[in-house]
């Protein structure tokens, strides 16, 4: 990208109400998990650098560290995050500080208790607070001014799950003819032994967009029109009574352990529903 293209992009972002900042200044980046000397000293040639906008720098010396461990996870700082440290600052209660303990660096929250004693407090109950007294070999190096999170990644499967769900929602619904609906009801009717079993047919009709969810009246009218002499015609009461547990979901999500009927009766309902779907799809 050229300088002119970058300027044009910045102007476009500003026109849209955004406030972009250019990462134009290097500051040293250290590894917090490795014992080392004073981080504010001149770095050797192998020191890595991070680029940040000049506007975000203060008058105090600043540097970046990469976090290791999980002692600050409850404060939202986890392994792999980067934090910007401002040196030569006196911390206030609640500040997150970089402290040097026996030549090793760690991030902790700083506070003073009611007795005036100073503490370094982890934000993870698995770790204990550290008292800063005359016997402690502890030095506060600086205060955290900014946390830069790791670049998040999402799995390919998760992305495709969202894409496929959207594609499915955009697909044109199948148009099943009245003739095919009537033929389906006629062929399914001999499989129905009790009125409640019509629920399996109704649920398959809902899944294939033949009728709307809870539109029992339309479904009943369809059945009565095709097989008016059937000995076990559906009713609103019976259909509604079966729309519970996994039966309230699409047929493909029915489970024998979470259904209003068990054993062979569950298998019968499932068989009727699946056969209904197959018959509906024959013409489509």
Question: Catalytic residue numbers?
Answer: 71, 108
Q: At what angle do helices 198-207 and 216-226 cross, to 10 degrees?
A: 120
Beta bridge partners of residue 121, listed in sequence order: 109
Question: What's the first-to-final CA gap in the chain, in angstroms?
Answer: 52
CB atoms under 10 Å from CB of 59, counted, come to 7
CA dist 131 and 19 (Å) reads 42
Pairing of β 23-31 and β 48-53: antiparallel
CA dist 147 and 56 (Å) reads 12
Report the 3 state secondary structure along 138-178.
Answer: EEEEEEEEEEECCCCCCCHHHHHHHHHHHHHHHCCCCCCCH
Sign of CA dihedral 132, 133, 136, 140: positive
CA dist 198 and 185 (Å) reads 10
The helix, strand and coil proportions of the chain, stated in percent and rounded to the nearest 5, come to 40, 20, 40
Structure tokens at 263: 């054993």
Taking alpha carbons only, the member of 110, 104, 103 closest to residue 75 is: 110
């Amino acid at each position: 990208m050229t300088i002119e293209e970058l300027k044009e992009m910045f102007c476009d972002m500003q026109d849209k109400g955004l406030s972009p900042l250019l990462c134009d200044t290097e500051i040293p980046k250290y590894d917090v998990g490795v014992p080392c000397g004073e981080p504010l000293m001149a770095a050797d040639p192998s020191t890595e650098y991070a680029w940040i906008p000049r506007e975000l720098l203060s008058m105090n010396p600043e540097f970046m560290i990469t976090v290791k461990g999980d002692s600050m996870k409850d404060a939202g700082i986890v392994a792999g995050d980067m934090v910007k440290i401002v040196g030569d600052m006196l911390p206030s209660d609640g500040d997150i500080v970089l402290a040097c303990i026996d030549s090793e660096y760690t991030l902790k929250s700083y506070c003073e208790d009611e007795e005036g004693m100073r503490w370094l407090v982890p934000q993870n109950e698995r770790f204990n607070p550290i008292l800063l007294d005359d016997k402690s070999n502890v030095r506060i190096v600086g205060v955290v001014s900014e946390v830069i999170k790791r670049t998040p990644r999402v799995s390919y499967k998760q992305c495709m799950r969202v894409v496929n769900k959207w594609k499915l929602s955009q697909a044109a619904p199948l148009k099943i003819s009245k003739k095919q609906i009537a033929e389906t009801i006629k062929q399914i009717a001999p499989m129905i032994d009790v009125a409640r079993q019509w629920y399996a047919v109704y649920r398959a009709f809902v899944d294939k967009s033949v009728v709307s969810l809870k539109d029992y009246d339309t479904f009943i009218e369809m059945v009565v029109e095709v097989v008016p002499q059937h000995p076990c015609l559906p009713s609103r009461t019976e259909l509604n009574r079966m729309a519970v547990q996994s039966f309230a979901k699409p047929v493909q999500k029915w489970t024998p352990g979470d259904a209003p009927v068990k054993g062979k009766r569950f298998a019968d309902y499932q068989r009727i529903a699946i056969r209904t779907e197959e018959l509906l799809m024959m013409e489509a």
